[in-house]
Amino acid sequence: MSKVLFVTSECWPLIKTGGLADISSSLPLALQNKGEDVLTLLPAYRGVKKHFKPLRNIATINSDYFDETIELLVGSISSTGQNICLLDAPSLFDREGGPYKDSHKQDWDDNAYRFALLCRVACEIAMGRTMPDWKPDVVHCNDWQTGLIPALLSLEANPPASIFTIHNIAYQGIYMRHIFDPLKLPESWWHYEALEFHGNFSFLKGGIVFSNRVATVSPTYAEEIKNSDKGCGLDGLLNFRATELSGILNGVDYSSWDPKSDKYIKHPYDQRTLKNKRLNKTVLQKEMGLNNDGKLPVIGVVSRFAHQKGIDLVIEQIRRFSHEPVQWAILGSGDTNIEEELEALAEQFPDKVGIKTGYDEGLAHRIEAGADIFLMPSRYEPCGLNQMYSLRYGTVPVVCKTGGLADTVIDAADGALATGFLIAQADADEVEIGLKRALSAYQNKALWLKLRRRGMAQEFSWQESAAAYLRLYEEAMVGNGSLDANPASREERVVKEARASGRKHQTPEMS
């Protein structure tokens, strides 16, 4: 049995902005079920404490890095049993708004400081300085908010192994020089061989450079990010670390996402009772203000409203299909202009377009249960979860052939293996072709039933993915044991690795 410190910036049902929250719940629980001793660390955002039975204060930290006293609270989430450690620093995390943005959808101006503190506290736990009877064998870091952890551990003698999972390489935690100095990081890290990145510095790059093993969330995405068009300026580094880079497909928590037991839908169903899916369609049409016509295909979309997700392509398809017998059920939030554009289309076509902005977990489930087709025209998609949810719900996915979408959906052209429709590229004409293929198949009842049932039979549980992470932990621990325990020697090795990574002057797609 290994001790694992799993560090994340969000975790369902405590706080959620996207798929990271689902993964940060499902993977630690899957590891716990395999007998691992897993503790998940995340900030104590406003409102998260209500999800726990009594919390215990296990440590108080006073540091010259942070003026206030920091408390570490541990407990188990009442609804799931996941073991959690909360970093309680109220002035930084107990705020109105989200984990990264305020109520006006602007980034918190002290995000670098907030998540640098999370990284420093993680290192205190990792080195056994807060819980003397519990020191992890592995620290599993997730996305840029935890990227400084492997770097800080490299300064310690005999640290635990570190794994860094990239959930989306486009979000890199990039900040300017005047932010670097107050974080009290080693001056030697302000260099392109360490954290420096095109005149700024990157949390994400720190995680990639200093960790023992790097993972990402699907095999295809692991290959894509080694190319310049998807690597966001870090493809050279990732190619150098290719033998230590793994693509492990995310899993699905079927205890939450299964139509036969889904607490959010009115009419449970499975492969043998698909007639109940039509009843859920009626419920969805009513909830979204759509005409109650069971013959009309409903196209579902649950997404962040961002360029990556191809929401502009969704808008274009609504216009192109405005005179066709189809309906749309859309849930999401993000870019304000996109929200306004979608709401205008809902006003223009009230019987055909239903839109709800924000996040509604129950409605997300009801869209999966009630829609006939699920559209994901992502320009890139590290893994994606909704296409896997859709398969289990018998909602045929139409997705771009990229990342985890390509790994999980089999195109209708493959006959007996088909589970959905792959779009060749994120282009309005190609998306239209994909939708027309799906709508044509919808008219063929026998074919559509086969697609639905075949999709529902697919298995993407966390068991296999958790086993793959356990193997990666073992590799990291073996590799970590072979490193020189002298901090200076370890840093020198990492700098040499970074120097060999190649590219220095590619502009990242986004920060």
The residue type found at 192 is: Y
Using pLDDT thresholds of 50, 70 and 90, give the confidence band for residue 486: very low
Cα(209)–Cα(5) distance, integer angstroms: 20
User: Residue 288 and residue 285: Cα distance in Å, rounded?
Assistant: 5
Q: Quote the CA–CA distance of 12 and 330 in Å, as a whole number.
A: 22
pLDDT band at 433 (very low <50, low <70, confident <90, very high): very high
Residue 66: predicted pLDDT? 84
Nearest to 218 by CA among 245, 248, 251, 244: 248
pLDDT in tens, 345-373: 999 999 999 999 998 999 999 999 999 99
Measured CA to CA, the distance from residue 176 to residue 240 in angstroms comes to 26
pLDDT at residue 323 is higher than 90:
yes
- Percent helix, strand, coil in the chain (nearest 5)? 40, 20, 40
Q: Which pLDDT score is estimated for 8? A: 98
Mean pLDDT of the region 429-444: 98
Q: What is the largest CA-CA distance in the chain?
A: 70
Residue 138 three-state SS? strand
CA-based nearest residue to 173, from 143, 132, 213, 214: 143
pLDDT of residue 63: 81
Q: Which of 27-36, 56-65, 227-236, 345-354 has the lowest mean pLDDT?
A: 56-65
C-alpha torsion sign, points 229, 333, 16, 18 = negative
Q: What is the pLDDT of residue 508?
A: 33
Confidence of residue 491 (pLDDT cuts 50, 70, 90): very low
The half-sphere exposure of 210 on its side-chain side, counting CA atoms within 13 A, is 32
Count of C-beta atoms within a 10 Å radius of residue 2: 18
Express each pLDDT in 377-397 by its tens digit.
999 999 999 999 999 999 999
250 vs 436: CA distance, rounded Å: 29
User: Which domains, from first to last, does the chain contain?
Assistant: 3-251+464-499 (3.40.50.2000), 271-456 (3.40.50.2000)
Q: What are phi and psi of 77, to 5 degrees?
A: -65, 125
Q: Which residues of 127-149 are buried (b: 16+ CB within 10 A; e: fewer)?
A: beebbeeebbbbbbbbbbbbbbb
Local structure of 16: helix, strand or coil: coil
Rounded-to-integer distance, Cα 19 and Cα 27, Å: 12
Q: Which residues touch 327 (CB under 8 Å, ≥6 apart)?
A: 285, 290, 291, 293, 296, 297, 298, 299, 351, 352, 353, 354
Query: What token pair was written down for 37?
Result: 């001793």
**Amino acid 163: pLDDT:** 98
Q: Which tens digits make up the pLDDT trace of 453-482?
A: 999 999 999 999 999 999 999 999 998 863
- So what's the pLDDT on residue 404? 97
DSSP state of 294: T
pLDDT of 79 over the 70 cut: yes
CA separation for the pair 228, 238 (Å, rounded): 11
Cis peptide before 350 (omega within 30 of 0): no
pLDDT at 509 over 80: no
pLDDT at 132: 83
Segment 273-296, tens digit of pLDDT: 999 999 999 999 999 999 999 999
Whole-model pTM? 0.89
| pLDDT tens string 233-279 | 999 999 999 999 999 999 999 999 999 999 999 999 999 999 999 99
Give the E-state strand segments of 52-171 in sequence order: 56-63, 66-76, 83-88, 138-142, 161-166
Report the chain's mean pLDDT, rounded to a whole number.
92
State the Cα–Cα distance between residues 489 and 485, nearest whole angstrom.
Answer: 8
pLDDT digits (tens, 9 = 90+) for 101-149: 998 889 999 999 999 999 999 999 999 999 989 999 999 999 999 999 9
Distance between CA atoms of 278 and 370, rounded to whole angstroms? 7
